[in-house]
Amino acid sequence: MDSFADSPPREILQCVAETLGCSTTSAEVAAYLDQHDELRHLREKFLVPKIADLPPYCIYLVGNSLGLQPKMARKYLEEELEKWAKTGVHGHIQGSRPWAWAENNIEQLMANVVGAKAEEVALMNGLTVNLHLLLLSFYKPTATRHKILLEDKAFPSDHYAVESQIRLRGCDPQQSMLLLSPRPGEETLRTEDILEVIEKEGDSIAVVMFSGVQYYTGQLFNMAAITKAGQRKGCYVGFDCAHAAGNAELKLHDWGVDFACWCSYKYVNSGAGGLAGAFIHEKHKHTVKPALLGWWGHDLKTRFQMNNVLDLQSGVSGFRLSNQPILLVCPLQASLEVFNLTSMQALRRKSILLTGYLEYLIQHYYSRDAARPARPDGPARPHVSVITPSDPQQRGCQLSLCFSVPIRRIFQELERRGVACDMREPSVLRVAPVPLYNSFSDVHRFIETLGSALAASSQTPQE
Ligand X SMILES: *Cc1c(COP(=O)(O)O)cnc(C)c1O
Interface ranges with ligand X (CB under 6 A): 126-128, 155, 157-158, 211, 215, 240, 242-243, 263
- CB nearer to ligand X: give 13 or 124: 124
- CB nearer to ligand X: give 239 or 366: 239
Per-position b or e across 39-64, b if 16+ CB within 10 A of its CB = beebbebbebeebeeeeeebbbbbbb
ω before 426 within 30° of 0 (cis)?
yes
Phi and psi, residue 361, nearest 5°: -70, -40
Q: How far is the CB of 277 from ligand X (least distance, A)?
A: 11
Q: How far is the CB of 350 from ligand X (least distance, A)?
A: 23
Q: How far is the CB of 147 from ligand X (least distance, A)?
A: 20
- CB nearer to ligand X: give 268 or 338: 268
Distance between CA atoms of residues 328 and 342, nearest Å: 23
- CB nearer to ligand X: give 362 or 434: 434
- CB nearer to ligand X: give 13 or 276: 276
- CB nearer to ligand X: give 243 or 298: 243
Q: How far is the CB of 70 from ligand X (least distance, A)?
A: 19
Q: How far is the CB of 124 from ligand X (least distance, A)?
A: 12
CA dihedral 120, 123, 129, 130 (to 10 degrees): 10
Give the 3-state secondary structure of residue 213. strand
Instruction: With beta carbons less than 8 A apart as the criterion, state whether 259 and 134 touch.
Output: yes
Tell me which residue of 174, 161, 137, 144 sits closest to 319, measured CA to CA: 137
Give the 3-state secondary structure of residue 176. helix
Q: How far is the CB of 423 from ligand X (least distance, A)?
A: 16
Q: How far is the CB of 213 from ligand X (least distance, A)?
A: 8
Q: How far is the CB of 152 from ligand X (least distance, A)?
A: 14
- CB nearer to ligand X: give 113 or 127: 127
- CB nearer to ligand X: give 160 or 304: 160
Tell me which residue of 339, 321, 218 sits closest to 276, measured CA to CA: 321
Instruction: With beta carbons less than 8 A apart as the criterion, state whether 27 and 230 touch.
Output: no
Q: DSSP secondary structure string, 38-104?
A: TTGGGGGGEE---BTTBSS--EE-BTTTSPPEETHHHHHHHHHHHHHHHHGGGGGT-SSS-TTTGGG
